[in-house]
Amino acid sequence: MATLCRPAVSVPEYVITMEETLELARSRHAGHPQLGLSLRLIENTGVRTRHLVQPVEETLAHPGFEERNRLYEAEAKARVPLLVRQALEDAGLRAADIDLIIYVSCTGFMMPSLTAWLINSMGFPSTTRQLPIAQLGCAAGGAAINRAHDFCTAYPEANVLIVACEFCSLCYQPTDISVGSLLSNGLFGDGAAAAVVRGTGGAGIHLERNGSHLVPGTEDWIAYDVRATGFHFLLDKRVPGTMEPLAPALCALADGHGWDASDLDFYIVHAGGPRILDDLSKFLGVPPDAFRFSRATLTEYGNVASVVVLDALRRLFDEGGAADRARGLLAGFGPGITAEMTLGRWSRTP
């Protein structure tokens, strides 16, 4: 049975606080007719700190899409290998044991993918399969887990490396002044993660069932407008309410597995914002503390897109994990509006 092992996570060294974010919004958008609303929305995110790949003054500059994408590639190559080594060590594997690398990111572009560079520079076999995923946004962390699960189901002796790398600050667009854009400027942070899914052996979450759900007619609620200046993030005001249609999908997945989504032992979900977690608590009928790992990621790092699910899971590991065979749910939410969902049991022994 495929097992999701402990993720390795890192965030960059430059930090911006909530207070600094609010002051920047006041100084740069003093005449904005909806500044008061934007400030309240940013405050309500509950994000205390975020980490950036550059000092804030360089983040606020826009040297052009070419330079930003060059920086994305350089930072990814500088930061990801250490995480990969740690994830392999935590899974008890070597690079030679990996059969597939899944790389997820929506904040920069490389072709060939970073997967090719990893294979060439870190000793992975030349036969290692590659699966880059670039357009699932925040849902990609959950999608990577699901595709790794599918691969290990098809090839039970195989092992999969997942890498998520998001430098959201490189998508900052100073000319975007809608309320949604201003909110995003105070919500998203930078970070990277890696984790291994073992086809056999390993300690962590034994993956048992996965599924996807897309809410019809919502494909323009979270989107990129790709222009000469790069990726311009579009966020519809209806996005915070998406848990009402997605919670039944989570329940249906659990029902199909003979489980009750309201009565599980742990929950690892994407923390897009506090209302996402509050609504899930309400619609699933679980206490707010059930999402404490996701809330901690949101508070300390902000929304780190596809990295969030892996970081929240890392926090569960760091707390000591769950009881043996405890049942849990993992879910990532993103553009589409899409949910990528997984059910699994905690396994304390390889």
Residue 186 is encoded by which pair of tokens?
Answer: 């105070």
d(CA 300, CA 306): 16
Total residue length of the chain: 350
Residue 129 is encoded by which pair of tokens?
Answer: 């399969």
| Number of Cβ within a 10 Å radius of residue 107 | 26
Q: Would residue 93 be called left, alpha or beta, if left means φ above 0 and alpha means ψ between -120 and 50 degrees?
A: beta
Instruction: Please state, for a pLDDT cut of 90, what percent of the chain lies above it.
Output: 85
Q: What is the mean pLDDT of residues 317-340?
A: 95
Provide the angle, in degrees to the nearest 10, between the axes of the packed helices 243-256 and 274-284.
50
pLDDT of residue 180: 84
d(CA 252, CA 250): 5
In the residue annotation, 138 being an active-site residue is answered as yes
pLDDT of residue 292: 96
Q: Specify the pairing of strand 100-104 against strand 129-133.
A: parallel
pLDDT over threshold 90, residue 349? no
Q: What is the mean pLDDT of residues 105-127?
A: 97
DSSP alpha helix (H) spans, the chain: 18-28, 35-44, 56-60, 65-91, 114-122, 140-154, 179-185, 243-256, 274-284, 292-301, 307-318
Cβ–Cβ < 8 Å for 338, 174: no
More confident position, 146 or 186: 146
pLDDT over threshold 90, residue 29? no
Please count the helices (runs of H) and the strands (runs of E) in the chain.
Answer: 11, 14
Taking only the tens place, the pLDDT of each residue in 159-180 is 999 999 999 999 999 888 888 8
Closest to 321 (Cα-Cα) out of 266, 256, 253, 246: 266
Q: Which position has the token pair 């048992």?
A: 208
Cβ–Cβ < 8 Å for 137, 75: no
Taking only the tens place, the pLDDT of each residue in 53-109 is 999 999 999 999 999 999 999 999 999 999 999 999 999 999 999 999 999 999 999
Q: Which amino acid is present at 350? A: P
d(CA 128, CA 160): 10
Closest to 298 (Cα-Cα) out of 283, 309, 287, 289: 309
More confident position, 221 or 348: 221
Mapped to the 3 state alphabet, what secondary structure does 234-301 carry? EECCCHHHCHHHHHHHHHHHHHHCCCCCCCCCEEEECCCCHHHHHHHHHHHCCCHHHHHHHHHHHHHH
pLDDT over threshold 80, residue 350? no
Tell me the whole-structure pTM to 2 decimals. Answer: 0.95
pLDDT of residue 246: 94
Given 5, 106, 138, 165, which residue is catalytic?
138
Domains of the chain in start order, with CATH, are 3-198 (3.40.47.10), 204-347 (3.40.47.10)
